[in-house]
Chains A and B, each alone.
Chain A
Amino acid sequence: MGAGYPQCLAMVRGFAKAVAANRDYLTDLDAKIGDADHGINMDRGMTAVLPKVAALTDEDISGLFRTVAMTLISTVGGASGPLYGTVFLQLSTSLKGEVDVGPSEWAAAVTAAVEAVQSRGKAQPGDKTMVDALLPAAAALRQHSEQGSSLAEALAAATKAAHDGMEATIPLVARKGRASYLGERSAGHQDPGATSSWLLMQAAEEALAKGN
């Protein structure tokens, strides 16, 4: 039993809710090592996404993620707009024609999404970016998919891996994005992009694990 359109829609709405609830938290993290706008920008983007996805009528998972991507690209700005746009655009491409997303489909889609983010943003693991949360999450999904775990188990492992990856950014010295200008002074702070990526994995777990 995988996730269908209603679960994917719930994931998008859940992510919007999580971003809104953590708007100030994400912005405060960004103020420490960036330019104090991550929560504001992501919230503006996901708030714009809600009416767009509510207007969709054809229950197409790929089309849903494409709508999220295009809305984020045109409303978020900064680096987060193109990068989260890339995440959802790649989910859309990977899940074309899918009506029932199981562990292997989701693992492949998230893996392709992280690869696309790395290709656009040129970030390596350990650079203190969203990649540090997404890459372990994708690995956990692949591992559980190969073991034959349920979707719920795979998603829970992905959230935990993203959370660990997010916390592991704290001691890192940033090598990409605005935080990299701080050099050593960026160490000791959690990366805001890795934090919003954990929220995304958590939203996926909460919505998709409910199954069809």
Chain B
Amino acid sequence: MKKLINRAEDVVREELEGFAAAHSDRVKVSLDPYYVMRADAPVHGKVAVVSGGGSGHEPMHGGFVGMGMLDAACPGEVFTSPTPDQILAATKAVSGGAGVLHIVKNYTGDILNFEMAADLAKEDGIQVEAVVTNDDVAVQDSLYTAGRRGVGITVLAEKICGAAAEAGRPLAEVAELCRKVNSNGRSMGMALTSCTVPAAGKPTFELAEDEMEIGIGIHGEPGRERRKLATADEIVELLATTVVDDLPYRSGDKVLAFVNGMGGTPLIELYVAYRALDRFLKGRGITIERNLVGPYITSLEMAGMSITLLKLDDEMVRLWDAPVNTPGLRWGV
């Protein structure tokens, strides 16, 4: 294992200390228990939006804390969901009296820990609504599995719901909007290489030089199919076809197209992929109204990418364009 770290067991804490030092203008970091919150939290009378998940996906979620997006984020250990005491502490710290929305990616651990935290917060008199994201079309048979995973749409839902909360919308509406974003979003990812969890010290799985993993999750968990390596155009067509046919997205639809890097793939390759996606969607008569290209929901140093599409309406476009000031996403300020 070759990593820019000190000790494997200190990675999450030291990352948070560095994050706090770098972004103290916008965020405050609690180290016991771990959470990141807006520097000006709690914002009175505003719905607070809280998310969280395992570390190793940076900038998600801590990098999306700030005006116009998340009020707090709870990082777990690498690829391990946060614990209920953390989520409860973060929920209490940012609660401004208008309720708290938990945005939870669909993984068994995340669901169980957020559910326990929500039960405890309700006992403390805080109104909590939870919305689960599950946009990963790689999981085919949801009836016989833990269901589709929450991946790229989570970033878009956090931005759009954060803007709605900032605009003063009530909890029920922000939660409904989150469900709408999730149900109009679909994603699929692929990997060129594996990744190494620092505490494990060796790659989670092995991929030969001429192989790729299709349908990869964001935790280095193997995908559903291993194939011979193909060109960027072929890979994008494979992923985009599966994504487009799933919702389905139809000719005339306006979408937000999100090409996400898994952590080890440079922007030069992500733009090669975006070029292919742009051409593919034009061929299907689908208009890219907004886009996002870059590493926003990563899997440590894994090379690979994912494609997320979100079918937009005018309200979602307005909320996407609204000002946001976080370490990971920033515009309009």
Interface residues of A (CB under 8 A from B): 27, 31, 34-37, 40-41, 44, 73-83, 120-121, 173-178, 180-183, 185
Contacts and interface: CB of A to CB of B under 8 A. Distances in A.
User: Which of under 10, 10 to 19, 20 to 34, or 35 or more describes the interface residues of B?
Assistant: 35 or more
A176 B83 contact: no
Contact of A180 (B80, B84, B146, B200): B146
Contact of B79 (A37, A74, A174): A37
B80 A77 contact: yes
Interface string B91-132: 000000000000000011100110010000000000000000
12 contacts: A27-B200, A34-B221, A36-B79, A36-B200, A37-B77, A37-B78, A41-B77, A81-B81, A176-B146, A178-B108, A181-B217, A185-B222
Closest 10 CB pairs of A and B: A180-B145, A79-B109, A82-B112, A78-B109, A77-B80, A35-B219, A79-B108, A74-B85, A77-B76, A78-B80
Contacts of A121: 108, 112
B209 interface: no
B77 A36 contact: no
Contact of A37 (B112, B149, B197): B197
A183 B139 CA distance: 9
B82 interface: yes
Given A83-B112, A185-B224, A31 B205 contact: yes
B201 to A, nearest CB: 10
Contact of A178 (B77, B141, B197, B221): B221
Contacts of B108: 79, 121, 176-178
Nearest to A80: B109
Interface string B173-206: 0000000000000000000000001011000110
Nearest to A176: B146
A27 B202 CA distance: 11
A37 B146 contact: no
Contacts of A34: 221
A181 B105 CA distance: 14
Given A73-B85, A75-B83, 11 more contacts: A27-B200, A31-B204, A36-B197, A73-B116, A77-B81, A80-B109, A83-B112, A174-B145, A176-B108, A176-B145, A181-B149
B85 A181 contact: no
